[in-house]
Amino acid sequence: MKNNFSALRTKLKEIAHLNTAMTALMWDQEVKMPLGGAARRAETMATLSGVTHDKFLSTDFVTLLTELKKNSGAKKFDQGQAATIKDIWKTYEREKRIPKKFIEDEARAISAGQTAWQHARKQSKFSLFAGELTKLVELARRKADYIGFRHSPYDALLDLFEPEVRTQEVSIMLDELKKFLIPFLGKVFAAAKKENFSHDIFSGNFPLETQKKFNREIATKMGFDWHRGRFDESTHPFTVAFHPEDVRITTRYSQADVFYSIISTVHETGHALYEQGIEPRHFGTALAQPASYGIHESQSKLWENMVGRSTGFWKYFYPRLQELFPEPFGGISLQDFYNNLNAVIPGPIRTEADELTFNLHIILRFEIERDLIEGTIAVRDLPEIWNAKTKEYLGLTPKNDAEGVLQDIHWSQGGFGYFPSYILGNLYAAQLYARASQEMQNLETEIALGHFEHLLNWLRKKVHRHGKKYDPQELMMQATGEGLRSSYFIRYIEKKYADIYQLKP
Amino acid sequence: MKNNFSALRTKLKEIAHLNTAMTALMWDQEVKMPLGGAARRAETMATLSGVTHDKFLSTDFVTLLTELKKNSGAKKFDQGQAATIKDIWKTYEREKRIPKKFIEDEARAISAGQTAWQHARKQSKFSLFAGELTKLVELARRKADYIGFRHSPYDALLDLFEPEVRTQEVSIMLDELKKFLIPFLGKVFAAAKKENFSHDIFSGNFPLETQKKFNREIATKMGFDWHRGRFDESTHPFTVAFHPEDVRITTRYSQADVFYSIISTVHETGHALYEQGIEPRHFGTALAQPASYGIHESQSKLWENMVGRSTGFWKYFYPRLQELFPEPFGGISLQDFYNNLNAVIPGPIRTEADELTFNLHIILRFEIERDLIEGTIAVRDLPEIWNAKTKEYLGLTPKNDAEGVLQDIHWSQGGFGYFPSYILGNLYAAQLYARASQEMQNLETEIALGHFEHLLNWLRKKVHRHGKKYDPQELMMQATGEGLRSSYFIRYIEKKYADIYQLKP
């Protein structure tokens, strides 16, 4: 049996190497590829993806996997091996249930969907996208049927991104959160009329070379390992791991806004630290994979928000920022800087949202996509539903479809079930950070001294090194002693903004 | 039958896409990869190469190919299809004859050979490499036996790089060339004592950003298509084509020597223009592959030497060079610049050789590797043979093994048969350039005006667009009306250096 696992391991390594090649092509496409290479790059990636798929469903592979699966209950395997067999089996069961014809149909619908979405968005006319979106929703429902589910078809889709998490749990948790956030936001808005914090006081002219230098200093200090990674530029910031020893982040710069790059650098470095914290010797097994999209997002959000927008972080970095950019920061106190950096300003666009309102943007999307997949609302009613919810949650109405229901790319790519990862990331992050602060009483002082390694080591031990050994719920149990709850995030938000906006309890 | 070709074509495209992925990994390794990624990158590339090999020898592929091959005499195919079947069949016949065990043995010997060579070179002690080299020669001879040959085992190896070219032809041609070069070099050396031309008069301090700008200007003017390519830096300059729409060149810079980058940029751009001149629609067929290593080298050498070291080229670019670097070029006339740029200075190292002595370095290597493979000389005698030939051809003796027999990496990689490509490239280039000059009487005037497109279009029509439709000899027949001869190169060299060194006829 042990020997059979080692045979499976060899095959998994081969698949992992093919995935590495795929990642390299993807990274190159976003960062380096000349424009003329685009059309053929798509074909090369499709070819490679077909080769990987064939390996995965080859008779050899399936026979081996099936035999291992049969014996996996018998305690013959260590925890990592058992987790690997479980994870691969689950993927295999899913893949074999989805007919090839469906995958082709879906790929075509996504391609048509993206074109229609771009067109509709440019014209700011939802009706130009409604037909394609209807098809995409229909396909997502069929996909859920193929995969199978107990209660809601949305469960099957959610599971693709957040294993073993159910629609009902998420609904309850986000409902709780919403019930706190909406009135709390009301209080903040009322206070904001007086305080009027805004990023505008940071506007200036920031030479790109100096910005790049500062961003690299931040990533280095956070613990990014340059020997096993790179840092480049791309239109949309992202992180990819070829494997734990080659992890690449990107950011983008604006001459007029220094935070445009800094915030995304801290966020992507958070992702990268997770990938670099995975143990290379597990390459090809479940232990070398991130636990979920939500857990991945928890690592970026924890660094971005709990650390990167904290007083401690800026106690350490603000003097350097003032040194590099005396104009405008020379004349702004740390306290003013911190308050304005955390300004809450409601707006219609998710990607421009502050730390607080961001969550309401996600809750809105989750509710809509859940209801679409469960069939309780119809595509044609989306603009109306979207605008009503925006009004209810954020107190404003989008000017048009482009800044409303058409703003995000996700649905046009058939990515139903992904949005919750963003907010689950925030919830995981707050719970992990609360636990870390409890175990390391002087954490904030250490951060203010530029000692990020304590936090990093804690995350390495509690999260990174386990890879996908546990599902997200189990991982949270191991790391914090309890399953995910929204209360940590609520307490964190409450305290932070009560301080900034001097709210009365 | 047509339908069967289209089935083959589909499979060939798949293989070509896998090769594209391999090229992307290779480029990334040289240009972007963080050091920590090196060990696993080698594994990823080995995996991908195994997948490609399996596709190539799969039952499906072989059955299809065999059937097409059977019918390929019957004029059912157009020229491109016939060339593709012929080329793939040849590769297949070779691949299937070489046992897998041999490929593994060879890979191990190459790995050990490289380590031993690096060690021996550092210590400058050939004896430390002799054992591994003996094994590598033995393996190369065995490989030739597997592949099969009529006259010399070296034929089989040469054919890997220069299809359908025979050892005997090359021997005769290079012998002729040597008989001209050695006495001619004597005349040049005698004259050089008086003239004393040297690159030293160009030494200075050249800011890298200005150099980069100038190098990009040169590549652009030569016709490099930036929409379908990139230009980066790497330790050893090289060109790779992911496919004709994504062609990448690299160069390297020295602050003290502006020609360190310029010459390699012109050379690599020559390679890149060939790759960009291949018709994208032929992707996956023989028409989308370069004709041979020698023909590839002819394109880089033609641009590097016949164009890039010519008076015409510098009539156009010298004013710009003077403008960018008034120190030292402001005080040097075009004639002095040209003469010193083309200084002939004999030295022991191939990679530092001038345009003239470079050829004797190659002839020496060709003779030695041919004799090694034919078994007429022994590995242990190499240092003595190397030094004696260096003395005879270049009039000097290497100080030690490191600057003598150990200087090149090729043999430690088992690359026997590659060296002739360098000099065949020069011969092809001279013959092509002579023909182009005959067909376009005002070619040099056009070049002096910065109109490189006439030459490029001629090369596109005569060489680039054919890919591997013809073998090198046929290609030369089509392009110049005769097979390869050394006389064009001899005449070119004779005229060029007689002018520079004012030799009497």
Residue whose entry in the numeric block shows the structure tokens 């009039």: B395
Alpha-carbon distance of A67 to A63, in angstroms, equals 6
Residue partners of A11: CB distance under 8 A and separation at least 6: A55, A60, A61, A64
CB B259, CB B202: distance < 8 Å? yes
DSSP B254: B
State the smallest CA–CA distance between residue A5 and chain B in angstroms. Answer: 20
Tell me the CA distances in angstroms from B503 to A349, A431, B289, B358, B489, one per residue in order.
Answer: 77, 86, 42, 20, 18
* Torsion, CA B75, CA B78, CA B83, CA B89, rounded to 10: -60
CB B268, CB B239: distance < 8 Å? yes
Structure tokens at B147: 């592949």
Q: Look at residue B194 in the predicted model and tell me its pLDDT.
A: 84
Mean pLDDT to the nearest integer, A387-407: 97
pLDDT at B190 over 80: yes
pLDDT at A24 over 90: yes
For the entire predicted model, the pTM comes to 0.91
With vertex at residue B182, the alpha carbon angle to CA B173 and CA B178, rounded to the nearest 5 degrees, is: 10
State the smallest CA–CA distance between residue A503 and chain B in angstroms. Answer: 49
| Catalytic choice (B132, B268, B275, B367) | B268
Structure tokens at A46: 């499709």
pLDDT tier at A336, thresholds 50, 70, 90: very high
Contact B40 A243 (CB under 8 A): yes
Nearest CA among B111, B74, B78, B102 for reference residue B5:
B78
B268 catalytic per annotation: yes
3-state secondary structure of B240: strand
Q: What number of CA atoms fall less than 13 Å from residue B78's CA on the CB side?
A: 6
Domains of chain B in sequence order = 2-150 (1.20.58), 167-183+348-420 (no CATH), 199-347+422-501 (1.10.1370.30)
State the smallest CA–CA distance between residue B5 and chain A in angstroms. Answer: 20
Nearest CA among A404, A335, A337 for reference residue A365:
A404
Residue partners of B410: CB distance under 8 A and separation at least 6: B365, B416, B418, B419
* Phi, psi of A480, rounded to the nearest 5 degrees: -125, -5
Cis, bond preceding A153 (omega within 30 deg of 0): no
What residues does B269 pair with on adjacent strands? none
State the smallest CA–CA distance between residue A437 and chain B in angstroms. Answer: 33
DSSP string, B456-481: HHHHHHHTGGGTTSS-HHHHHHHHHS
CB A132, CB A109: distance < 8 Å? yes
What residues does A254 pair with on adjacent strands? A257
pLDDT per position as a tens digit, B359-380? 999 999 999 999 999 999 999 9
Residue whose entry in the numeric block shows the structure tokens 């593994």: B104
Alpha-carbon distance of B133 to B346, in angstroms, equals 28
Minimal Cβ distance to A17: which of B39, B47, B226: B47
Alpha-carbon distance of A209 to B119, in angstroms, equals 41
Alpha-carbon distance of A341 to A346, in angstroms, equals 14
B21 CB neighbours in chain A (<8 A) are 21, 24-25, 44, 48
pLDDT at A72 over 90: no
Over chain B, what is the mean pLDDT? 95
Burial classification of residue B327, based on how many CB atoms lie within 10 Å of its CB (0-12 exposed, 13-18 middle, 19 or more buried): exposed
pLDDT tier at A195, thresholds 50, 70, 90: confident
pLDDT per position as a tens digit, B33-49? 999 999 899 899 999 99
3-state secondary structure of B241: strand
% chain B with pLDDT above 90: 90
pLDDT tier at B193, thresholds 50, 70, 90: confident
Residue partners of B222: CB distance under 8 A and separation at least 6: B266, B269, B270, B273, B303, B452, B456
Mean pLDDT to the nearest integer, B403-426: 96
DSSP B204: S
Helix residue spans in B395-450 (DSSP H): 419-439, 443-448
Nearest CA among B497, B445, B436 for reference residue B463:
B436
A25 CB neighbours in chain B (<8 A) are 21, 24
Residue partners of A371: CB distance under 8 A and separation at least 6: A377
Q: Is B271 labelled as part of a ligand binding site?
A: yes
Residue B209, chain A, CB below 8 Å: the answer is: no
CB A111, CB A346: distance < 8 Å? no
B28 CB neighbours in chain A (<8 A) are 24, 28
Alpha-carbon distance of A85 to A64, in angstroms, equals 11
Nearest CA among B25, B84, B73 for reference residue B51:
B25
Alpha-carbon distance of A393 to A177, in angstroms, equals 12
CB B156, CB B149: distance < 8 Å? yes
pLDDT per position as a tens digit, A408-459? 999 999 999 999 999 999 999 999 999 999 999 999 999 999 999 999 999 9
Alpha-carbon distance of B180 to A236, in angstroms, equals 61
Alpha-carbon distance of A90 to A106, in angstroms, equals 21
CB B240, CB B23: distance < 8 Å? yes
pLDDT at A73 over 80: no
* Phi, psi of A204, rounded to the nearest 5 degrees: 180, -160
Residue B15, chain A, CB below 8 Å: the answer is: no
pLDDT at B9 over 80: yes
pLDDT per position as a tens digit, A85-107? 999 999 999 988 999 889 889 98
Residue B21, chain A, CB below 8 Å: the answer is: yes
Structure tokens at A286: 């479940």
Residue whose entry in the numeric block shows the structure tokens 């990869």: B33
pLDDT per position as a tens digit, B238-265? 999 999 999 999 999 999 999 999 999 9
pLDDT at A493 over 90: yes
DSSP A235: S
Residue whose entry in the numeric block shows the structure tokens 């005997």: B168
* Phi, psi of A325, rounded to the nearest 5 degrees: -130, 70
Looking at this predicted complex, what is its ipTM? 0.90
Binding residues of A for Zn(2+): 267, 271, 297
Give the distance, in angstroms, between the CA of residue B341 and the centroid of all CA atoms in the same chain: 22
Structure tokens at B176: 């002729």
Structure tokens at B38: 């090196």
Residue B36, chain A, CB below 8 Å: the answer is: yes
Residue B37, chain A, CB below 8 Å: the answer is: yes
Alpha-carbon distance of B406 to B252, in angstroms, equals 24
B146 membership: H or E segment, kind and range = helix B127-147
Residue whose entry in the numeric block shows the structure tokens 């001038």: B354
CB A494, CB A430: distance < 8 Å? no
Cis, bond preceding A319 (omega within 30 deg of 0): no
Largest CA distance in chain B: 70
pLDDT per position as a tens digit, A469-482? 999 999 999 999 99
Contact A47 B14 (CB under 8 A): yes
The dihedral through the CA atoms of B99, B104, B110, B112 has a sign that is negative
How many other CB atoms are found less than 10 A from the CB of residue B326?
Answer: 10
**Chain A, chain B: beta-carbon pairs less than 8 Å apart:** 105
Contact B32 A32 (CB under 8 A): yes
Nearest CA among B496, B419, B480 for reference residue B174:
B419
Q: Look at residue B1 in the predicted model and tell me its pLDDT.
A: 58
pLDDT per position as a tens digit, A202-230? 889 999 999 999 999 999 999 999 999 99
pLDDT per position as a tens digit, A257-294? 999 999 999 999 999 999 999 999 999 999 999 999 99
Contact A40 B246 (CB under 8 A): yes
pLDDT per position as a tens digit, B310-325? 999 999 999 999 999 9
Q: Look at residue B291 in the predicted model and tell me its pLDDT.
A: 97
Burial classification of residue A246, based on how many CB atoms lie within 10 Å of its CB (0-12 exposed, 13-18 middle, 19 or more buried): buried
Q: Look at residue A1 in the predicted model and tell me its pLDDT.
A: 58
pLDDT at A504 over 90: no
DSSP A349: -
% chain A with pLDDT above 90: 90
Tell me the CA distances in angstroms from A256 to A97, A338, B147, B456, one per residue in order.
Answer: 51, 19, 65, 44
Residue A32, chain B, CB below 8 Å: the answer is: yes
β-strands B239-243, B246-251 pairing = antiparallel
Alpha-carbon distance of A329 to A333, in angstroms, equals 8
Q: Is B297 labelled as part of a ligand binding site?
A: yes
DSSP B346: -
CB B161, CB B418: distance < 8 Å? yes
A43 CB neighbours in chain B (<8 A) are 13, 17
